[in-house]
Amino acid sequence: MNRTFHIEHETGKALTGTWLRLWRVVQVVVFIIGAGIFAALIFFPETGIHAFWNVLIPVAPALFVLATGVWRNVCPLGSVSLLPRHLGISKRRRLNLKWQGRLHLAGVCLLFLIVPLRHLIFDTNGPATAALLAATALAAFVAGCLFDWKSGWCSGLCPVHPVEKMYGENVLFTTPNAHCTQCASCVIPCPDSTPAMSPAKANMRKSHRISTCLLTGGLPGFIWGWFHVPDYGSSVGWSEIAISFAYPWQGLAVSLGVYLAVRYYALAKQYHSLLNSLFAASAVACYYWYRLPALIGYGLFPGDGMLFDLRASVPHWTVWVLQIIVAAFFYWWVIFRKQAAAEWVVRPPFAQRRK
């Protein structure tokens, strides 16, 4: 199977020289920014929360849609995970397809478990968010120590990776691979190097298929439900816990139900990828429909997730115009824009098999 895979996928040159050094500089700079945000979350929580939840995280979905490879090259947690491989201390174990599927399913479940906790603690508590990031960095590092290249974390357990896969189907351009020096086919198919990657392209095992359905069908409703819950901050009891999970999970169940019904009862197979793209576009459009107004004080719960309060200077109707333009853009980009079938990053030359 690997042999066929090698023949079907072209490789590029490994990154070397000045370009490699430049990417290393960018990786270090982004890592330092990440470390700065981490420190701010502990020592200046208000600033840290704004920088992480209200600047970095809102930028991420758009970056996944437009240039997933850039993020894959510079993500600080990815750098932490790949550090053992770059230093030559990774055990470089291979994950078989069964475990690749299980890790991917675990990543999707983690995403749906962790995100509702934002309303209960992370959105309003800097040290708690720092603790979450520290635990995540530790998990990424351990995964990198054990498994080859990106298989354990970046293309495995990372809860953000399923979202990259869902949004990164029609990227603007392919970047060089600033991590893998040789391709060990550590994950099949490699999400970084597969043209027009989407969750449906990794459907070999039952666990892959379950995670693909959960994510593709459930994410739009999950996002919609999440935005209908306020940040509870310090006043958290059982009812707040129940509401924080109930809204996004009910949204997930409804949109998953619609997705499955349309997919299995109303659409011929050749339209399934169009349905997947429609749900991916709906998820990212829904995210910005609620997130952009919240950033400037016009959210469903004014103050929650607010970066600047522009209510006195920006009329409400301009927010609706902005919402419509941004949503239309993502539907156009994901569904109607001509598919470039680009990979996220260039696959480096294949490595010789280790004996």
Give 155 or 277: the residue with its C-beta nearer to ligand SF4.
155
Q: Does 281 bind ligand SF4 (CB under 6 A)?
A: no
How many whole angstroms separate alpha carbon 70 and alpha carbon 63?
Answer: 8
The answer to whether 144 and 82 have CB atoms below 8 angstroms apart is yes
Give 187 or 294: the residue with its C-beta nearer to ligand SF4.
187
Classify each residue of 134-156 as buried b or exposed e, where b means 16 or more C-beta atoms within 10 Å of its C-beta.
Answer: eebbebbbebbbbbbbbbbbbbb
Q: Does 187 bind ligand SF4 (CB under 6 A)?
A: yes
Q: Which of 123, 169, 192, 231 binds ligand SF4 (CB under 6 A)?
A: 192
Helix pair 272-295, 316-331: axis angle to 10 deg: 160
Within the chain, residue ranges assigned H as helices are: 2-8, 17-43, 45-51, 57-74, 76-87, 97-114, 117, 126-146, 161-167, 206-226, 238-261, 272-295, 316-331
Q: Provide, rounded to whole angstroms, the least separation between the CB of residue 191 and ligand SF4.
A: 7
Give 180 or 229: the residue with its C-beta nearer to ligand SF4.
180
Q: Provide, rounded to whole angstroms, the least separation between the CB of residue 181 and ligand SF4.
A: 9
Q: Provide, rounded to whole angstroms, the least separation between the CB of residue 340 and ligand SF4.
A: 19
Give 126 or 152: the residue with its C-beta nearer to ligand SF4.
152
How many whole angstroms separate alpha carbon 250 and alpha carbon 238?
Answer: 18
Give 81 or 170: the residue with its C-beta nearer to ligand SF4.
81
Helix pair 76-87, 57-74: axis angle to 10 deg: 20
Token match 């924080």: residue? 244
Q: Does 175 bind ligand SF4 (CB under 6 A)?
A: no
The answer to whether 104 and 156 have CB atoms below 8 angstroms apart is yes
Whole-angstrom Cα Rg for the chain: 20
Q: Provide, rounded to whole angstroms, the least separation between the CB of residue 161 and ligand SF4.
A: 11
Q: Which of 105, 121, 157, 180 binds ligand SF4 (CB under 6 A)?
A: 180
Q: Does 133 bind ligand SF4 (CB under 6 A)?
A: no
Binders in 153-172 for ligand SF4, by CB under 6 A: 155
Q: Does 190 bind ligand SF4 (CB under 6 A)?
A: yes
Token match 């983690």: residue? 110
Q: Does 64 bind ligand SF4 (CB under 6 A)?
A: no
Q: Provide, rounded to whole angstroms, the least separation between the CB of residue 136 and ligand SF4.
A: 19
Q: How many residues does the chain have?
A: 355
**30 SS3 class:** helix
Give 163 or 346: the residue with its C-beta nearer to ligand SF4.
346
Question: What are the structure tokens assigned to 241, written together?
Answer: 């816990």
Token match 């920088």: residue? 51
Give 104 or 119: the residue with its C-beta nearer to ligand SF4.
104
Q: Which of 80, 145, 184, 294 binds ligand SF4 (CB under 6 A)?
A: 184
| Part of the chain binding ligand SF4 (CB under 6 A), chosen from 181-189, 210-218, 245-253, 330-338 | 181-189
Q: Does 347 bind ligand SF4 (CB under 6 A)?
A: yes
Q: Provide, rounded to whole angstroms, the least separation between the CB of residue 55 and ligand SF4.
A: 28
Q: Which of 31, 99, 141, 149 binds ligand SF4 (CB under 6 A)?
A: 149
Q: Provide, rounded to whole angstroms, the least separation between the CB of residue 78 and ligand SF4.
A: 10
Q: Does 103 bind ligand SF4 (CB under 6 A)?
A: no
Q: Provide, rounded to whole angstroms, the least separation between the CB of residue 256 and ligand SF4.
A: 29
Residue 183 phi/psi, 5-degree rounding, is: -85, 120
Q: Does 67 bind ligand SF4 (CB under 6 A)?
A: no
Token match 């894959």: residue? 72
Nearest CA to 81 out of 131, 28, 151 is that of 151
Token match 């994510």: residue? 215
Nearest CA to 187 out of 172, 168, 208 is that of 208
The answer to whether 176 and 342 have CB atoms below 8 angstroms apart is no
Residues in contact with ligand SF4 by the rule CB under 6 A: 149-150, 155, 180, 183-187, 190, 192-193, 347
